[in-house]
Each structure stands twice: as structure tokens, then as C-alpha cells.
Amino acid sequence: MNDLSTPIDFLLTRRSSPAKALQAPVPEGAALDTILTAAARVPDHGKLAPWRFAVLGPAALTRLADLTIEIGVAQGRDPGRMEKAAKTFRAAPLVVAVISKHDAEAKIPLFEQQLSAGAACAAMVNAALASGFGAAWLTGWVANDAEFNRCAHGIEPPDFVAGYIHLGTASATPPERPRPDLSDIVIRVDA
Ligand SMILES: Cc1cc2nc3c(=O)[nH]c(=O)nc-3n(C[C@H](O)[C@H](O)[C@H](O)COP(=O)(O)O)c2cc1C
């Protein structure tokens, strides 16, 4: 997996790691800057950079884990499930929240700005994998919950978290997963 011989080999073999298989060492310093720089080099209609990257270290991850339980349970969500959701933050060695940040002054539609945030998430995962790290793109209910996002990141709708990108070193090679057959997804339009 993640054959780094050539760019196309990489794209044809790339594979995320399950978040729970990620551990130290994490990308830091220049290695992390390289990943963030690559994530910012994505298609972006209008050159708005309609995303922000919040690098979440251990103290922030503990705060987000506590908030997950506090807000989730207050909203009537199942406490056991909230513990499980909180653990994805608590157990993570490093997470970058990709925040979709709407530029309301721009004439580029909101959905195009949000698509660019999704592209930044994919690019961040790929840059981490291409650097030899493991990565996983997670969301969960917290990513688009207005109250959670206000308390966790100080953002208001329509801004939301396009992805929590978990980064680290994969403790095991993730098993391959089935990929779609081209015949199921490609429509050839000749007329
Ligand atoms: C927008 C988005 C949100 C996702 N959220 C989760 C999630 O919350 N939990 C999860 O296990 N996988 C989630 N995934 C799936 C994984 O990130 C990933 O797509 C899957 O493990 C296979 O990745 P790969 O194709 O890079 O190998 C999400 C994917 C996307 C695109």
C-alpha cells in the first residue's frame, strides 16, 4: 500500500489508516508544515482560501473530548456513544481540524467554497500518506453541530468542520478495502 515510486503509483495504492491505529511519532515542524502547505494547494474558485487549519495538540484534544460528552449528553445523546466519540479525540496523537470558512463577500457560491474545504481535507490526507505518515479523515456529529463548533472552535454556521484529519504513524498496514468498479461509476457520454 501507499507505493511511493511514482505519483500515479501513489494515487492508485493510497490508503487511509484507521484513526485508532495512529500513534506517535506525529508530523511536527517542517514535516507538518509540508503537509499543511500541500493541503492549501487545492482548487479554490476565486482564490479565497475558504478554509482554516486548526492544529489540535493534546490539551485541545482533551478539551474537545470533554466537550463531546458535555454537549452530546445535554442534547440527549446516548452517554455510552458519547464516551466512544470522545475517545476519538482523547486517544488521538495529533488532529488538524479543517474548518470550512465562508467568505460571504465573495460571489463564489457557498457550496463551491465548501467543496474546496473538502478538497483541502483530501489533499491533507494524501500529503501525510505521501510523507510516510498515516492519516484518517473523520467527521461524526460534532463536525456540523453549531453548538459544539461555537464552543470548540468559536465558529458560527455556515462555517463547520469539513474534517478532523487524524495524523500519526500507523501501527499496522491497513487492510485493502473494496474500490468501485469503473463500470459501475463511469457513464460514457458520446452524444
Ligand atoms: C467527509 C468524510 C467524513 C468521514 N467521516 C468518517 C468518520 O467519522 N468515521 C470513519 O470511520 N470514517 C469516516 N470517513 C471515512 C474515512 O475517512 C475513509 O474514507 C475510509 O476509511 C477509507 O479511506 P481511504 O479510501 O483513504 O482508504 C469519512 C470520509 C469522508 C470523505
How far is C-alpha 102 from the chain's CA centre? 17
Identify whether the C-beta of residue 68 lies closer than 8 Å to the C-beta of residue 79: no
pLDDT tens-digit map of 71-126 = 999 999 999 999 999 999 999 999 999 999 999 999 999 999 999 999 999 999 99
Question: 0.85 exceeded by the pTM?
Answer: yes
Task: Specify if 5 maps to a domain.
Answer: no
Q: Kindly report the protein residue whose alpha carbon is nearest to atom 23 of ligand 1.
A: 16
- Which residues span the domain enclosing 174? 17-185
Ligand 1, atom 6, lies closest to the CA of 138
Q: What is the pLDDT of residues 169-188, one digit of tens each?
A: 999 998 899 999 999 999 99
In a domain, 37, yes or no: yes
- Residue 56's SS3 state is strand
How many domains in the chain? 1
Q: Is the CB of 126 under 6 A from ligand 1?
A: no
Verify whether ligand 1 is closer than 6 Å to residue 158 (CB atom).
Answer: no
Domain of 54: which CATH number? 3.40.109.10
